[in-house]
Amino acid sequence: MIGGDRCPTRRRPQYITAHDMPRRSHDLHGAAPDDSRTALLLIDVINDLDFPGGDRLLAHALPMAHRIRALKQRCRDAGIPAVYVNDNFGRWQSNFHRQIEHCLEEGVRGREIAALLRPGEDDYFVLKPKHSGFYGTTLEILLESLGAQTLLLTGMAGNICVLFTANDAYMRDYRLLVPSDCVASETEEDNGHALRQMQRFLKADITPSDELDLERLPA
């Protein structure tokens, strides 16, 4: 006993719920001026494709790049911002602009795709060290700042980085649209399997890009 014959009053533990937590600021000090409930993600499209299987991926990725380019323009017209989510390819001392310059050099396998999808000055970008666009990056903070709730996922490879990013986005309660003609893998079989997995288990809408009604998406 403490203090003679009286015990101190035992306080019940206080539990903090999500509603009690302070909301994170949506203000990135002017770094993210857009406000849109939908965001277009371009995954690993700035890519030199300098790896085994790069030729096979290029065959599927080049037609994909033309469709992404058209979709990006439609998104721009609809007020939907574009976010480049790109691998750093282990170049920890590099940056995205240097990577773009490298991929636009003569003789680079992915040059034509990089030229088609070269970012504009008002686009956003996030460099990722691993497969998922959310792992070890600022993507979640950026999307929260934009107010995004729906994500349009495009890029390559459909069965690796697009799939991993979609999985992490689904666990964060984003609504997913993965246009089937705007993702590419080394084989059509791998791509088709990944799309079916995202549709079945991640509730993704895989409607082709030319059939998407962007005006009906929350922007």
Residue 207 forms part of a structural domain: yes
Residue 219 forms part of a structural domain: no
Q: What is the model's pLDDT at position 197? A: 98
The CATH number of whichever domain residue 116 belongs to comes to 3.40.50.850
Both tokens of residue 171? 């666990």
Identify the helix (H) or strand (E) that includes residue 75.
helix 54-77
Residue 15 forms part of a structural domain: no
Series of mean pLDDT values for 10-residue runs along the chain (219 residues): 45 41 45 84 97 97 98 96 88 74 96 97 94 96 96 98 98 98 98 98 98 84
Q: What is the model's pLDDT at position 15? A: 39
Contact 53, 190 (CB under 8 A): no
Separation between Cα atoms, residue 120 and residue 10, nearest integer Å: 61
**Residue-wise pLDDT tens digits, 65-94:** 999 999 999 999 999 999 999 987 655 556
Q: What is the model's pLDDT at position 216? A: 85
Predicted TM-score (pTM) of the model is: 0.84
Q: How many domains does the chain have?
A: 1
Q: What is the model's pLDDT at position 194? A: 98
Q: What is the model's pLDDT at position 215? A: 87
Q: What is the model's pLDDT at position 34? A: 85
Separation between Cα atoms, residue 204 and residue 152, nearest integer Å: 10
Q: What is the model's pLDDT at position 147? A: 95
Residue 178 forms part of a structural domain: yes
- What is the domain extent for residue 49? 38-212
Residue 155 forms part of a structural domain: yes
Residue 97 forms part of a structural domain: yes
Residue 17 forms part of a structural domain: no
Nearest residue to 74 (alpha-carbon basis) of 110, 45, 47, 38? 38
Residue 165 forms part of a structural domain: yes
Q: Write phi, then psi, for 155 (nearest 5 degrees).
A: 125, -155
Both tokens of residue 160? 């690796």
Nearest residue to 164 (alpha-carbon basis) of 146, 178, 143? 178
Q: What is the model's pLDDT at position 4? A: 46
C-alpha distance from residue 5 to each of 2, 11, 12, 140, 210 (Å): 7, 19, 21, 55, 80
Q: What is the model's pLDDT at position 93? A: 56
